Amino acid sequence: MSQFSFTSPSGSNFTLFYHSQNQNPSKFHVFSPFRTSQPSPSHPILPPLCSRELSSSSPLLEEKPEPSQSSSKFDPQDRLYNDEVADEISTTKKSLEELLVVRRPVKEPYGEDGDEKGEEISEVEDSQERNGLQEEQPSSLSFPLDAGLKKFAKKVPIFEPSRLESGSAEKPLKVNLDLALYKAKILARKFQYADAEKILEQCIDVWPEDGRSYVALGKILSKQSKLNEARAVYEKGCQATQGENPYIWQCWAILENRMGNLRRARELFDAATVADKKHIAAWHGWAVLELQQGNIKKARNLLGKGLKFCGGNEYVYQTLALLEAKAKRYERARYLFKQATRCNRKSCASWLAWAQLEAQLENNRAARQLFEKAVQASPKNRFAWHVWGVFEANLGNINQGRKLLTIGHMVNPRDPVLLQSLALIEYKNSTANLARVLFRRASQLDPRHQPVWIAWGWMEWKEGNISTARELYQKALSINATTESAARCLQAWGVLEQRAGNLSAARRLFRSSLNINSQSYITWMTWANLEEDQGNSVRAEEIRNLYFQQRTEVVDDESWIMGFLDVFDPAIDSIKRLLNLDQNSYYKVKESTSDTISGDNAERSTEESAGPSSGNVNDNNIDAGSGFDLDDFICVMLSLDPSKLEVQLATSLKDPPNIARTTSGVWRPSTKTSRTSSIKL
């Protein structure tokens, strides 16, 4: 037996053995590294390389059959060898088919062009299969790893320049949402609502799961009186967040309350508390709704639950304190105000409400100290400067009141209320011409502010300008004839007509005012006095009886006090200690400033020292305060020169007014006018 070796086109080595005695090269054995048991033709055929004309990524294997030699040349004694050779040839061909596969990689770029090229390639392959140019390979002959890589390469390209450049593959970072929300907030402050809405809509498209975009967009739409659109935004937000965002529920509830849908508002507040029972704004907003409807007991229950789940909160304590003050339980009101200021020393609203309580009780020195605390907590708060200025003016400190109102106007140049109060002070203590200048500037700042027109009309009536007063009253009613301000305007107009001798017009105006606010004691008594002056004592008595019959008196009993802490779990004593509440705290409240307080609460002792004593301190002396230097405060905190306030006020009145834009950009009278606004006198 002899042997010789050869190398295949793929680089594989093969060795052939044959019998040298017959010198028949057809009798040989082929040894290859792979064996199969499948039969094959009697002669090994080496497949050529794939043709370059076929641009396909799948392997092509072509065979050229060679003429087989006649079996008659074989000797019968070599039949055994022939069978072995046949097996070896079959094994060799099968191995070569698996090894000698030429694959041409196809570069598949990502994008639309790459997809089109892939479709063209698949069409070429299909056409080749139809034309018989490509033999279909069995699945068992292809490597599974190559097939998996091929699928992976089609789905996830290695290089993606278009996606990386455009940035459409990945969601932007969350910081972009924060920046977009801040930009929309700034645009809304500048009354550029269209641009703000566009930004917020884009935020909703990219981050639909974030509730802040829905809240901001809904508030902007509400400011423009697009209530139905705002409702749709809130509903969409609740669906996108799967009802787990309490802020959206709360804003939606406030919107429904504004639209008069009280039942729906209660349901939405309830949904907000279910979404997050620690959402204090929902509890407080729901309680305010019940207070507006006269449900005092329900409101107290809701506020108690807010304290139970959320802990001490300044707004809850403040609301409870106002309820106590309304019920004339002043010691408890003071205690609750103190708790509110302890929760937040910078709560200007709490200090201011407490100061108004003391001013009502004529504890002037204590009220002044609390006003000082209020402006220190929020130096630019317009309400603090306004209430404090009016307080000092009512006490006869005209210069101090004028100074405080001027400071408030300097830091809030677009607020018409400060100019309105300043105009009334100037009218009473100076000249009507200066008051007219201030009223005119206030009306230019906000043409839809009804109290400015009403106060201006009252001044013109006092000056004897009846026709001008009627025009100003008419303008106030043209804004909105259904508000509390409209009721006061109608009452003042009725008094004007009564003094002018137009009794029938005065009666119509009084009746229209009571249609808006039937609880106005002044309007009922003014109408009764009119009838009594005309000799209609029976009619006057009927009017008084009507007032007492329709009066809604809210009775607030003290039973809630004993059961106030029942909303707390008796086992959770830590919550009671946190809130610093006990059963006797409402009855034994030490209001004196000499309370012993630990050294680590020295800052809190400063707050309590500002609190008033239970006694009545009638002290109108401005210097009898707590050592607060107003001039130094406004110089440091507000950068104002105390000696140039009057000059700055005069300069601001001469400059073109910075008119506050309305929701539509142009002031127009409201279409909601009642029959009382069109009275011809």
Alpha helices in 446-483 (DSSP H): 450-462, 466-479
Q: CB neighbours (10 Å) of residue 16?
A: 16
* C-alpha closest to that of 420 among 392, 388, 391, 386: 386
Phi, psi torsion values for 584, nearest 5 degrees: -100, 5
- The answer to whether the beta carbons of residues 339 and 616 sit under 8 Å apart is no
Q: pLDDT value at position 652?
A: 84
What's the average model confidence in pLDDT over 227-238?
95
- pLDDT grade for 78, boundaries at 50, 70 and 90: low
pLDDT interval class at 635 (50, 70, 90): very high
Mean pLDDT of 407-420: 94
CA-to-CA separations, 241 to 187, 227, 264, 303, 586, in angstroms, rounded: 26, 21, 20, 27, 42
Nearest alpha carbon to residue 197 among 170, 167, 222, 220: 220
pLDDT tens digits for range 131-188: 443 444 444 444 454 565 456 455 544 433 333 334 445 778 889 999 999 999 999 9
Q: Are 355 and 323 in contact (CB under 8 A)?
A: no
Q: Mean pLDDT over residues 115-132, rounded? A: 46
**Residue 651: its pLDDT value, please?**
87
Q: Taking all residues of the chain, what is their mean pLDDT, rounded to a whole number?
A: 74
Phi-psi region of 672 (alpha: psi -120 to 50; beta: other; left: phi over 0): beta
Whether the Cβ atoms of residue 440 and residue 449 lie closer than 8 Å to each other? no
Which residues, at least 6 apart from 392, have a Cβ–Cβ distance to it below 8 Å? Answer: 400, 401, 404, 622
Confidence of residue 615 (pLDDT cuts 50, 70, 90): very low
- 478 CB neighbour count, 10 Å cutoff: 19
Q: How many alpha carbons lie under 13 Å from residue 179 in its C-beta half-sphere?
A: 5
Looking at per-residue pLDDT, the higher value among 59 and 424 belongs to 424
SS3 268: helix
pLDDT given for residue 66 in this prediction: 46
Average of per-residue pLDDT across 282-311: 93
For residues 111, 114, 115 and 118, what is the CA-based torsion angle, rounded to 10 degrees?
-160
Closest CA to 172 of 142, 141, 210, 140: 210
Amino acid at 644: K
**Those residues with Cβ within 8 angstroms of residue 299's Cβ, 6 or more apart along the chain or in another chain:** 287, 288, 290, 291, 319, 323
Read off the DSSP letter of residue 463. T
> Each residue of 297-353: pLDDT tens digit?
999 999 999 999 998 899 999 999 999 999 999 999 999 999 999 999 999 999 999
The whole-model pTM stands at 0.63
% of the chain beyond a pLDDT of 70? 60
- Three-class SS of residue 612? coil
pLDDT classification of 52: cutoffs 50, 70, 90: very low
pLDDT of 597 strictly over 90: no
What average pLDDT does this structure show over 539-544? 94
Q: Is the pLDDT of residue 428 over 60?
A: yes
**Alpha helices of 380-415 — where are they, by DSSP H?**
382-394, 398-411
* Alpha carbon distance 135, 122 (integer Å): 15
What interhelical angle do 466-479 and 450-462 show, nearest 10? 170
Q: Is the pLDDT of residue 384 over 90?
A: yes
**For residues 405 and 418, is the Cβ–Cβ distance under 8 A?**
yes
Q: Is the confidence at residue 588, as pLDDT, over 70?
A: no
Judged on CB neighbours under 10 Å (0-12, 13-18, 19+), 619 is middle
Res. 270: pLDDT tops 50 = yes
Report how far residue 408's alpha carbon sits from residue 420's, in angstroms, rounded to the nearest whole number.
12
Q: Higher model confidence: residue 241 or residue 36?
A: 241
Contacts of 29 (CB under 8 A, 6+ apart): 16, 17, 18, 84, 85, 88
Q: Is the pLDDT of residue 673 over 70?
A: no
Q: What is the DSSP letter of 666?
A: S
Q: State mean pLDDT over 286-290.
A: 95
354 touches 370 (CB < 8 A)? yes
Q: Which of 311, 369, 236, 351 is nearest to 579 (CA)?
A: 311
Condensed to tens digits (0 to 9), the pLDDT of residues 303-315 reads 999 999 998 899 9
From CA 587, how far away is CA 376, in angstroms rounded? 31
Cβ count near 53 (within 10 Å): 6
The three-state (H, E, C) secondary structure of 50-112, written as one string: CCCCCCCCCCCCCCCCCCCCCHHHCCHHHHHHHHHHHHHHHHHHHHHHHHCCCCCCCCCCCCH
Q: What is the model's pLDDT at position 273?
A: 95
Closest CA to 100 of 39, 54, 148, 141: 141
Q: For 205-232, what is each residue's pLDDT tens digit?
A: 999 999 999 999 999 999 998 999 999 9
- Supply φ then ψ for residue 587, to 5 degrees: -105, -25
Confidence category of residue 68, pLDDT binned at 50, 70, 90: very low
Query: Cβ(2)–Cβ(17) under 8 Å?
Result: yes
Report the Cα 233 to chain-centroid distance in Å.
11
Nearest to 285 by CA among 336, 308, 262: 262
User: Bigger pLDDT: 113 or 85?
Assistant: 85
224: its two tokens: 């423009």
Within 10 Å of residue 467's Cβ, how many Cβ atoms? Answer: 8
Q: Which residue has the tokens 């708060």?
A: 381
Residue 79 pLDDT = 52
State the average pLDDT over residues 355-364. 95
SS3 for 670?
Answer: coil
Task: Report the 10 Å Cβ neighbour count for 263.
Answer: 8
pLDDT beyond 70 at 554: no
pLDDT, mean of residues 527-540:
94
533: buried, middle or exposed (CB in 10 Å: 19+, 13-18, 0-12)? exposed
Residue-wise pLDDT tens digits, 458-474? 999 999 999 999 999 99
pLDDT at 656: 67
Spatial distance between the Cα atoms of 273 and 280, rounded to a whole number of angstroms: 8
The two three-digit tokens of residue 262, written as one number? 């009280």
The reported pLDDT for the residue numbered 654 is 79
Q: Would you place residue 501 in the very low, low, confident or very high pLDDT band (cuts 50, 70, 90)?
A: very high
State the Cα–Cα distance between residues 118 and 116, nearest whole angstrom. Answer: 5
pLDDT bracket for residue 86 (50, 70, 90) = low
**Please, which residues have CB within 8 angstroms of residue 57's CB and are 6 or more apart in sequence?**
103, 104, 105, 106, 121, 150
Predicted confidence at residue 151, as pLDDT, reads 60
Residue 199 clears pLDDT 90, i.e. is over it? yes
